[in-house]
A and B are shown apart, each in its own frame.
Chain A
Amino acid sequence: MFTILGVGPLTWITFLPIVSMIILLLIPSGRDEKSKMVSHILFRWLTVLTTFLQLLLALAIYFNFDFGLTGINQQSTMQFVERVRWIEIQNLPLLGNLKIDYFVGIDGLSAPMVLLTAIVCFAASFASFGIEKGVKGYFAMYLLLDTGMMGVFVALDFFLFYVFWEVMLLPMYFLIGIWGGPRKEYAAIKFFLYTLLGSVFMLLVMIALYFAVGTFNMFDMMDPSKYDPSSILAGADTFWRYVAFAALFIGFAIKVPSVPFHTWLPDAHVEAPTPISVILAGVLLKMGTYGMLRISWPMFPDAVRYFQDYIAFVGMVSIVYGALCALGQHKVGKRDFKKLIAYSSVSHMGYVVLGMAAMNPEGMIGAIFQMFNHGIITSMLFMIVGVIYDRAHTRGLDDFGGLANKMPVYTGIMAIAFFGAIGLPGLSSFISEFLVFVGAFKTYPVLTIISGSGIILGAGYMLWTLQKVFFGKLPERWAGPWDPTGKKYKHDDLMPVEYAALVPLAIIIIYLGIYPIPITDLMNTSINHLIDFVKTTGSFAAHL
């Protein structure tokens, strides 16, 4: 492990945004127009610099990462570990000696997520340049959110995990509630309460586990021998273990979101500003599935095996149902571009759930790779919506047409994202979807074949949108230049900042589509170990 100034890279990558946030808060906003403008530029580029440094750190971590170490339930093979006693209270009447560690580390499961978070945050910081209102507050919240997300992916102490989970919630609430669209309050409250409901489930299970194990250390919670035999969560295949798993699953499923806990997502996406939609879809949704793999699966292997079929069913329903709803957006109510993508996210995250339920290397690696790819592709899709929304101030699918002639480069980049979402070979999502399907087929042939209809429906709504917005004839109202003064948009096509946000993501999609090894190899060892662990631990009546 390398250190910078004596502090490990994971601490740096997690808390760097907080440091920047403090610096940012110390910079005055300025009173008159000119100093305001200067300070806004300063805020923007400080955020870009922070996220860029974060990205560099993530890359440094990636290149120093030992692909051969397993992690998951073995404390000794976690990498870049840092552990400091954080809270210690002796002789509490009920809790005994409360010990909570600042305990971070990564393995093949979290490394891709750390990388994804760094990439998405960097790209989204460019997309944030369009924010004009309350710039200082916005970027402060943005950086706080960044820390929260990164923290979730590196935390190895359940309590710490929970803290980061909640830390990320609050800025999100404000970012939607203040900088959002017309129904922002409704969407923000809905998001907050819904997610908080999930957190409550998680908190309950966490406390139950603490009573059973006596520490908040995740590794102890994964080891059946550490459980106090008198606790309700001891043993295997007991009623309370199933209940605890189900509660935890609902908590995470809300975040994924799986049908039927998904309705906060379309609202939140529609109302959130572009970069927040990007982060929401790109990183936040992955926390649900990451939480399942990091916590639910290894801590309740017996319950996973018991609920496996139901989980796969939930995944299948999400795939088909999400795709149908996305297609139905064309026919019902306002045809909102973002709502369409939100439902497509429900569908695509369904693949992840299906792959995780399959419990074999193909399905599981496909699922995590799909998390990564969906993060990149959906980020791109939301930025693409943001680009025209910034110019036309509408997202109605019926308001557009023929943009391909007006914005050819934009259309080219958009096509990569759209076909990525469809799962076209040569783009990264093909490989992940292929692996998910191949893996899921091994365990659930029928469910997988039904899920396959999602591929066709996906092509249906994506191509419909493509045709509606980019092909056909340009409506009269957009015939002129976007900005007649020529101040903000010098020409009709993409601006340099938008290039900076979109092009790297497009390159990643193509590169990983042709050569997926950099990401798949990253997780191979850990995921195979996870599968073995889940399949063999905790139960003696192996019904697999």
Chain B
Amino acid sequence: MTINLEHYLILSVILFCFGIYGIITRKNAVMVLMGLELVLNSANINFVAFSRFGGLNIEGHVAAIFVIILAAAEAAVALAIILNIYQNYKHINVDEISNLKE
């Protein structure tokens, strides 16, 4: 069986759905963050796949690397925010952090 574009896309869809599921359902902010990472990685897979099979060539790789870096930066910022939230609320339950509403 040759592995072609569809397989990659299916894998990325599965990862994406897991990620979204994690974001929506988890109450723990760290878990939400992990879901976000999954979403980003699913996008990475797409990029790499398209660079291999679509006409994207090296740009796909570059984009993927950008996303990885972005993800790392984002994780750092997000974790810092979570730490701050923890210090202020003494928990990291995202359901109860609804100050945005007001």
A contacts B directly (C-beta below 8 A): no
Q: Please list the residues of chain B having a beta carbon within 8 angstroms of any beta carbon in chain A.
A: none
